[in-house]
Amino acid sequence: MALTKESFGNEFREACRDAGVKGSAHGVRKIAAATAAMNGATTEQLKALLGWTSDAMPALYTKSANRNRMGREAEHLFPAPKRKVRALDRKRQ
């Protein structure tokens, strides 16, 4: 039986309530979007996976994932200092 995103949300909330835990389908969608984006999913792929029709929501996830990825790829641009960096002298504070 196929579910709409609304009916899935209702079923998920009911299952959480029956299990005695707090939870919502929104949290699951958020984790799914973040995980897929971090694994390289494009805006169009996120739209297809999660049923979004505009670029606004998937763009939030791909922007964040791309920023994290670029940061990791650029870490080598900040090499470790060749000498020890001294801590500030407490007398100057």
The C-alpha atoms of residue 40 and residue 36 are separated, in whole angstroms, by: 6
State percent of the chain over pLDDT 70. 90
Q: What is the pLDDT of residues 47-62, one digit of tens each?
A: 999 889 999 999 999 9
Residue ranges of domains in the chain: 15-67
Contact 58, 33 (CB under 8 A): yes
Question: How confident is the model over 31-50, as a mean pLDDT?
Answer: 94
Contact 43, 55 (CB under 8 A): yes
Name the nearest CA neighbour of 29 among 7, 8, 50, 13. 50
55 or 22: which leads in pLDDT: 55
The C-alpha atoms of residue 57 and residue 65 are separated, in whole angstroms, by: 13
Highest mean pLDDT among 20-24, 50-54, 81-85: 50-54
The C-alpha atoms of residue 50 and residue 68 are separated, in whole angstroms, by: 22
